Amino acid sequence: MTMAVTNDSLRQQLHAGADALALGLTDAQITLLMDFLALLQKWNKVYNLTSVRDPQEMMTHHLLDSLAAVPPLRRHVAVLAGKGHHAVRLLDVGSGGGLPGVVFAICCPEVDVSCVDTVGKKAAFIQQAAVALKLRNLHGVHARVETLTTPFDIISCRAFASLPDFVTWSRAALVASHGVWLAMKGKHPEDEITALPTDVSVFHVEQLTVPGLDAERCIIWMKPV
């Protein structure tokens, strides 16, 4: 017999995952993440935001998976602050239902997060989530990333495109002096790294552990050279 997954059990799982990642989230942030999960579930039926429909799977494959990238992001934001770059702007490319962009906006309120997607209803959903969750540091942008030229300090993606396409299509939106790309990947993408343009270098490959998910995950950090 399968047990129904309750909101309480999902919240407990989120708490445990956040603790395992040592995120130090407040109760208000946990509530925002749960509220985002509820919005994703509700509007997925209308907007087709993600192929993941099961709330339990949304928790592990979307929320906890995105949360695993928060400590590396915070570390890089601290490095930027140490160099005098405050008011960090992050662009999440091909954000879909807001992953990882919305999770980043909730966990890093000091970072201004724009989620770009070529599908209008997905960008509209992000705008709607920003209003519903009262996240002033979150914006939905309806555009192809190739058309963006306003500069961002960090450009992220998850399940978007190959590394060469990701950096080529988003390059005009990266701050030239200190901008970096943060690509969330599964297995170490050896072939994609080899195919990167010669003027882009990988400066760090970071293995991630996702609480409750037995899968390979890593972040490929890149910068222009």
Q: What residues make contact with ligand SAM under the rule CB under 6 A?
A: 50, 93-96, 99, 116-119, 122, 144-146, 158-160, 169
Q: Is 146 annotated as a binding residue?
A: yes
Cβ proximity to ligand SAM, 152 vs 160, nearer residue: 160
Closest approach of Cβ 33 to ligand SAM, in Å?
15
Determine which helix (DSSP H) or strand (DSSP E) holds 205, and give its type and residue range: strand 200-208
Q: Is 99 marked as a binding-site residue?
A: yes
Known binding residue 91? Answer is no
By beta-carbon proximity to ligand SAM, the closer residue of 75 and 144 is 144
Min separation Cβ 8 and ligand SAM, Å: 25
Measured CA to CA, the distance from residue 32 to residue 196 in angstroms comes to 37
**Run of H or E residues at 200:** strand 200-208
Which residues are registered as beta bridge partners of 138?
Answer: 113
Task: State which residue, 125 or 178, has the beta carbon closest to ligand SAM.
Answer: 125
Classify strands 217-224 and 200-208 as parallel, antiparallel or unpaired: antiparallel
Q: Smaller CB distance to ligand SAM: residue 160 or 221? A: 160
What DSSP string runs through 51-116?
S---HHHIIIIIIIHHHTTHHHHHHHHHHHHHTT--S-EEEEET-TTTTTHHHHHHH-TTSEEEEE
- The secondary structure element, H or E, covering residue 7 is helix 7-20
The minimum distance between CB 84 and ligand SAM, in angstroms, equals: 31
CB of 198 to ligand SAM, least distance (A): 23
Binding-site annotation, residues for S-adenosyl-L-methionine = 94, 99, 145-146, 158
